[in-house]
Structure 1
Amino acid sequence: MRARLLEFTEDEKWAVLKHEDCTEEELDELIERIKEWIIKTNLPVEENPSNKYRTALLNCKLSLERTKECLRGYYHIRTLYSDFFDKLVPNTNTYNLAKELVTVAILPKLTPDLCRTTCVRIDDPQGQAPDGLFYEVIPILHTELRIVTEDYFVSNIIVIDLEGFGLKNVIKYTPTVNNMLVHLMISINLRLKGLHFINAPPIMDKVMFLVRSCLPTKFLDKVHVHKNADTLYKFVPKECLPENYGGQLPSLEQLHEDWCIASESQEEFFKKLQTVKCDKDELAELKIQNNDSGFGVDGSFKKLAID
């Protein structure tokens, strides 16, 4: 992977460690303890997993127990939804269409408060995607590359551009799709600083009204709806945003292409990921409830790590 896809300075690295009240040696020791724990379980033992375990630890504020929960959830999800995850391979028909319908990049520059930002924009005005999960193909591929790359961060920010997002896209998110997406979020215990919707259409107010009864206040406090990028700068400064949004980074399209090139060069890596599954003894069946709201998942949003 090109080094410039994820950047951090030595000062930022030490600032992250200081924020977590941890030395590099102590973090390395935690990584080794996770490796030892994995071997004692029936979870997959991967090659060169240090970066993945470091990312998981930072995502869980260096809590060993939460990191174990996060990793177990990651492997469970890849096993439970193997029909979906086994399709996530670059240079396939599914991949080629998905990268045309979604523009997404994990941004190279950390924010001043040491957050890693991801920008997503759905570009599917004709509703070509078979369902809402199709919009997750490229984001998940990019994320898989991210978590095996050395990185230091305190939390995560997600920016979703709703320009051009309309009814043809909304109907792709059936209750079944929503259940799975919520299940994914809960299982990986994502550490989230903020979720920002920009270029939001008027209908977004009605959507937020509907979901307020489903989500905890602490989570909703991190959700921000912006008519344009002007009010986004309070949370993510211009120097950390793509030029599409008045920022100083390359365009979202260029960053997206860089990540896609990186993904396409790692086809064998993604094929190996198809074998990363729990065995029957380890896999605890995680049932998803069906309801009309699309948010009925066994578990709780309280498990999300909201900063």
Structure 2
Amino acid sequence: MPAIRPLSPELQKTAIENLNEVPNKLDDDIAALRDWIKQQPHLKARTDDQFLVNFLRGCKFSLERTKSKIDRFYTLRTKYPEFYLGHNVDVDKALEIFRLGTIVILPRPLNDNGPRLALLRMACYDPSKYTLQEVNRAAGLMQQIMLDEDDVAIVNGLISILDLSNVTTGHFLQMSPSFAKKMTVFQEEALPLRPQGIHFINTPNGFDTIFNMIKPMMSKKQQGRLYVHGSKWEALYNQIPKQYLPVEYGGENGSIPELLQQWEQRILAYRNYWEEEKNYGTDESLRVGQPVDFESLFGLQGSFRQLNVD
């Protein structure tokens, strides 16, 4: 038997029906993946059963897709440490940003048996003090814990709610095409978390410029999971009932300060993880076959200097 957490009966049923999981083949699937990693001279990856099965589930048990995602996961974290957490993680600096509450993971999944819910509040950080890159790296602390521990998110996916109330031009100016491309590529090609929807609420003037820049960078499937509600909360509630929002939003899904406090304890418990992570990554000089063409992968530059946000 593989050394992994047992899924709840409900999640196990979903994994079998929707992710192509065959429980009595897990040992073989994990062994095949571990053998492949050992044969890659350029790649040093974690190979514990739980890590590998999480990637297999996130790729619906396509072995080739899983290989590609694990490779991209470590390749991008090694190549672009300023964007993605990996090596030399300053947990204290990231915690300072985390405490602002820009990103909140909600405890009850949608409909209590659906995707994990994440609330993103961009105006919680001061763009004159922090960059969006720093905020994204701080979010990586939570993301890694979800990758390791959150079976609901791995099996059922993740729905994000972006509350853009009180965002300023300063926030949007940090969302360059280059940054947006790095985020979408990592989300779609490196993470085993499957986005099930992104909902935008309280969208200000100028939002369309950003939205129309990011949308073409995403796969057609993910483009179909974008929902812009403007200021129409009822439209959001039609897809995410109000009770699944935090109490500060009139819901019943936890209090934001308490949730942040709970997550801070989990993040602190992961300090040693980031020390260990220094041992993992890629060495492109040892890669067999075609090198990664980073320029074509992220071939976008520029920013928005004429953007006005009300």
Shorter-chain TM-score category?
Answer: 0.7 to 0.9
Per-residue deviation at 1:215?
4.9
- 1:177 is aligned to 179
Residues 1:116 and 1:131: Cα distance change in structure 2 (over 3 Å): same
Residue 163 of structure 2 corresponds to residue 158 of structure 1: no
CA distance 1:194–1:75, change in 2 (3 Å): same
Is the 1:125–1:165 contact (alpha carbons within 8 Å) kept by the matching residues of 2? no
Deviation per CA, 1:255-279: give whole Å up to 9, x if none.
2332222111221111211332112
TM-score normalised by L of structure 1: 0.80
Aligned-pair distance for 1:144?
A: 0.9
| Match for residue 275 of structure 1 among 270, 276, 279 | 279
Check conservation: 1:51, 1:148, Cα contact below 8 A. Answer: yes
Deviation at 1:68, TM superposition (A): 0.8
The yes-or-no answer on 1:13 pairing with 2:12 is yes
Shift of 1:82: 2.9
Bigger mean CA offset, 213-222 vs 74-83 = 213-222
Between the aligned partners of 2:162 and 2:233, the Cα distance in structure 1 is 11
Tell me if the contact between 1:162 and 1:200 (Cα under 8 Å) persists in the aligned partners.
yes
DSSP-derived class of the 1:250 partner = coil
Q: Return the match for 2:253 from 249, 252, 257.
A: 249
Residue identity opposite 2:11 in structure 1: E
The one-letter code sitting in structure 2 at the alignment partner of 1:204 is: F
Match of 1:219 in 2: 222
Matched, 1:291 2:301: yes
- For the residue of structure 2 that corresponds to 1:170, the secondary structure is helix
Q: Which has the higher helix share?
A: 2
Shift of 1:169: 0.9
CA contact (8 A) 2:158 2:197 kept: yes
Change (3 A) 1:97 1:52: same
CA–CA distance in structure 1, aligned partners of residues 13 and 174 of structure 2: 43
Using the TM superposition, give the Cα deviation of residue 167 of structure 1 relative to its aligned residue in structure 2, in angstroms. 1.1
Decide which moves more: 196-205 or 165-174. Answer: 196-205
Count of equivalent residues: 286
Bigger shift: residues 34-43 or 71-80: 34-43
Contact 1:122 1:135 in 2 (8 A): no
d(CA) in 2 for partners of 1:271 and 1:59? Answer: 25
- SS at 2:135 equivalent: helix
Partner of 2:108: 109
Percent identical pairs in the alignment equals 21
- Report if the CA contact (8 A) 2:104-2:256 is conserved: yes
Indicate conservation of the 8 Å contact 1:198/1:225, yes or no: yes
Partner secondary structure for residue 22 of structure 1: coil
Judge which range, 233-242 or 71-80, deviates more: 233-242
Q: Which moved more, 1:143-152 or 1:81-90?
A: 81-90
CA deviation map 1:58-92 (0-9, x unaligned): 221111111111111101011111355335342x2
Find the aligned partners of 1:225 and 1:188 in 2 and give their Cα distance: 26
1:186-215 CA-to-partner distances (Å, cap 9, x unmatched) read 431552211111222233244334555555
Unpaired runs of 5+ residues, structure 2, are 1-6, 305-310
Q: CA deviation at 1:140?
A: 0.9
Secondary structure of 1:82's aligned partner: coil
- Following superposition, the deviation at residue 293 of structure 1 comes to 6.6
Inter-partner Cα distance in structure 2 for 1:262 and 1:110: 19
Q: Tell me the TM-score normalised to structure 2 length.
A: 0.79
Q: Determine the C-alpha separation between the residues in 1 that align with 2:31 and 2:245.
A: 35
* Aligned counterpart in structure 1 of residue 235 of structure 2, from 222, 231, 238: 231
What one-letter code is carried by the residue in structure 2 that aligns with 1:82? P
String of CA shifts for 1:26-60, please: whole Å, max 9, x gaps. 3343223222221222321426x222222212221
Distance 2:70 2:32 in 1: 13
Does residue 207 (structure 1) correspond to residue 210 (structure 2)? The answer is yes
The question of 1:82 aligning with 2:81 is answered yes
Runs ≥4 in structure 1, deviation > 6 angstroms?
A: none
Per-residue deviation, 1:21: 4.1
- Counterpart selection for 1:188 from 159, 165, 190: 190
Is the partner of 1:247 in helix, strand or coil? coil
Aligned residue identity for 1:219: Q
What residue in structure 2 maps to residue 301 of structure 1? none
Partner of residue 200, structure 2:
197
Q: Please tell me the residue identity of whatever aligns with 1:118.
A: A
Task: Write the distance in 1 (CA, Å) between the matches of 2:277 and 2:21.
Answer: 31
